[in-house]
Chain A
């Protein structure tokens, strides 16, 4: 149980285009999902907290207009990288808690490797 599916696994796009990444909780409902970014050989940096039915909460320094997050249902959150540039190339990972309590472990998607050419 507690499976989080992320799609696509990898994507290559041209500079200036937009890319949408989907994160689904397959066997549980997630009112809150989290989006992380990971640079090569570095740790995970929280980008934003995605809340079902409301606006996402962005971490300091993350451009909300560039990284659009939509949490339309209890099982789906999407991250859209708008007008992507090479510096946006990175590994993006979503996660969700199986249970709503704060001590419940996060379950992560397999990540999306974005390459912007």
Chain B
């Protein structure tokens, strides 16, 4: 069975602090894809990143960075120098291998960045 766990329900940080959002997944597929989405208060889901199971290179995009470790089945997301606009719910999702189109979402982590 596939599962995505985001153990942190809610995190509060002060602006300019760094924050890491954890994501742990379970799957028996050898090929799979991991995603992060941001859901601001307005409700829409914004795609942030996709990572396939064969690419363990970490990625950095501006203040965002992602750490993928297959050994621990984790795909963590770090925001550096957080800003108030980063306040949102962040979802980690898993999509299975060939022929599997469904996403399994984690329960989300609500990030509050305080000014």
Contact = CB atoms under 8 A, between A and B. Distances in A.
Interface of A: 32, 34, 41-44, 46, 49, 91, 93, 95, 97, 102-103, 105-111, 113
Interface in B81-115: 91, 95-103, 105-108, 110
Given A49-B101, A103-B33, A91 B43 contact: yes
Contact of B108 (A43, A49, A97, A105): A43
Given A42-B107, A43-B91, A91-B43, A103 B50 contact: yes
Chain B interface main SS type: loop
B43 A32 contact: no
A110 B35 contact: no
Contacts of A108: 37, 44-45, 47
Contacts of A42: 107-108
B12 to A, nearest CB: 15
Contacts of A107: 47
Contact of B101 (A41, A43, A102, A113): A102
Given A102-B98, A105-B50, A43 B106 contact: yes
Interface of B: 33, 35, 37, 42-45, 47, 50, 52, 91, 95-103, 105-108, 110
Contacts of B52: 103
A91 B43 CA distance: 9
Contacts of B100: 102
A113 B97 CA distance: 32
A77 B43 CA distance: 20
Nearest to B44: A110
